[in-house]
């Protein structure tokens, strides 16, 4: 199984940068995903990492270090609409996902 | 519009009653999944199916059953509901292709068991 940890809550100001860390212990690593979930809605895909390094997609970037069991999601130029929960998920060799409890990000004006 | 639909959107159920949550996808995805989401615990896998005719148990399968008679449908049944099954239930699907192949989630069913 997987043990995935991420902070419960983070608060930041509009226009700022926020980094959400995720650590994991895995029994068969086959990729790491980040999802965004607005209150009352379904999770939606943000990013995917399987090799070490940084993946950049617009204002969002995700980093992975497999040797350290560590990833982060970087949100730049924060906007009010970025207020949501961000879920870290690890995929195993059977293609099943295990999720962290999620980090609720609140963006203040 | 392609995607996943779930029904009902929400339901209040008396303890001991039987309930089936419906999930249908039109993306011809091989794999389908059922999760429950509880505050502070995140999404937990209940059951999954990698292809029509096969199912498997996830992290929290007790009290739930599933079937996969065809590619599109993956119903979740609570045989005798208990209050601890109060949760938001999400169905998801994926191509099961590896790489950046992600899971796509339905809108969820909010279930309250009294």
Q: Which residue has the tokens 């938001």?
A: B88
Q: Find residue A87's DSSP bridge partners.
A: A35
Of B42, B45, B99, the CB nearest to A87: B42
Q: Is A31 on the interface with B (CB under 8 A)?
A: yes
Residues of B in contact with A41 (CB under 8 A): 107-108
CA distances to A55, B19, B30, B79, B95 from A59, in Å: 11, 42, 32, 45, 27
pLDDT value at B40 more than 90: no
d(CA A59, CA A31): 21
Share of chain B above pLDDT 90, in %: 89
Q: How confident is the model at residue A1 (pLDDT cuts 50, 70, 90)?
A: low
**pLDDT, averaged across chain B:** 95
- Arithmetic mean of pLDDT over chain A: 95
pLDDT at B96: 82
pLDDT at B79 over 70: yes
Does the CB of A69 have a partner CB in chain B at under 8 Å? no
pLDDT band per the 50, 70, 90 thresholds, residue B99? confident
Average confidence (pLDDT) over B53-81: 97
Residues B70-99 have a mean pLDDT of: 95
Q: Does residue A29 sit at the B interface (CB-CB below 8 Å)?
A: no
A9 vs B: CB within 8 A: no
8 Å CB contact of B90 and A41? no
User: Residue B77 CB: number of other CB atoms within 10 A?
Assistant: 13
Sequence-ordered list of residues with C-beta below 8 angstroms from that of A40, at least 6 positions apart, any chain = none
Residue B48 has pLDDT above 80, yes or no: yes
A42 CB within 8 Å of a chain B CB: yes
Q: pLDDT band at B1, cuts 50/70/90?
A: low
The pLDDT score that the predictor gives to residue A56 is 94
Picking from A35, A15, A13, A11, the residue whose alpha carbon sits closest to that of residue A76 is A15
Name the minimum distance, in Å, from the CA of A52 to any CA of chain B. Answer: 14
Which residues in chain B are closer than 8 Å to A45, comparing Cβ atoms? 102-104
- Residues A11-35 have a mean pLDDT of 95
Question: What average pLDDT does the segment A11-36 reach?
Answer: 95
- Per-residue pLDDT band at A26 (split at 50, 70, 90): confident
B97 vs B50, residue with greater confidence: B50
Q: What percent of chain B has pLDDT over 70?
A: 98
Judge whether B85 is closer than 8 Å to chain A, CB to CB.
no
């Amino acid at each position: 199984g997987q043990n995935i940890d991420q902070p419960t809550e983070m608060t930041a100001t509009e226009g700022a940068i926020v980094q959400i860390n995720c650590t994991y212990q895995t029994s068969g690593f086959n990729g790491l995903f980040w999802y965004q979930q607005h209150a009352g809605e379904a999770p939606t895909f943000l990013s995917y990492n399987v090799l070490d390094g940084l993946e950049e997609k617009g204002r969002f970037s995700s980093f992975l270090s497999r040797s350290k069991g560590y990833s982060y999601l970087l949100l730049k130029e924060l906007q009010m609409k970025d207020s949501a929960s961000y879920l870290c998920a690890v995929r195993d060799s059977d293609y099943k996902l295990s999720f962290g409890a999620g980090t609720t990000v609140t963006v203040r004006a | 519009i392609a995607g996943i639909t779930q029904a009902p959107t929400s339901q209040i159920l008396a303890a001991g009653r039987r309930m089936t949550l419906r999930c249908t996808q039109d993306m011809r995805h091989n794999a389908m999944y059922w999760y429950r989401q509880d505050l502070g615990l995140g999404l937990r896998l209940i059951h999954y199916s990698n292809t029509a005719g096969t199912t498997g148990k996830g992290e929290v399968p007790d009290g739930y059953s599933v079937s996969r008679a065809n590619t599109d449908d993956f119903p979740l049944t609570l045989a005798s509901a208990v209050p601890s099954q109060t949760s938001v239930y999400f169905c998801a699907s994926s191509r099961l292709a590896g790489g950046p192949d992600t899971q796509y989630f339905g809108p969820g069913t909010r279930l309250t068991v009294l």
